Amino acid sequence: MSLKIYHNSQCSKSNAAWSALENHHIDFITINYLENPPSVEELKELIQQLGITPLELVRVNETIFNEKYRGKNLTDEELIVAMHENPILIQRPIIVKDDKAVIARSEEAIRSIL
């Protein structure tokens, strides 16, 4: 089993998910995606694993989204590039297990991937 979490230590939901994995004594890899943003290809794979659209992965209330992207008719590719260039726009936390992923903002979502 391969498990990893895309983590932002400044986010309470991300910290809760990280702690839940620790509490279950599960080995996992932590990816601080703000310091090491996923590539465009990695983002495409995450979106496919999550089963969502690129827009559903974007944190649309972030200041940078409102300043640079709101109101523009962006393609999926442009949204993915925007997330790569501005990783704060990526929903968090994301837990990936094998070929599936969840946005782990709730205990239910975390349980669903474990």
Residue type, 18: W
Catalytic residues: 11
- Adjacency order of strands within the sheet including 3-7: 29-32, 3-7, 94-97, 100-103
Whether the Cβ atoms of residue 26 and residue 3 lie closer than 8 Å to each other: yes
Find all residues with CB under 8 Å of 109, minimum gap 6, and list them: 95, 102, 103
Q: Rounded distance, CA 61 to CA 104, Å?
A: 18
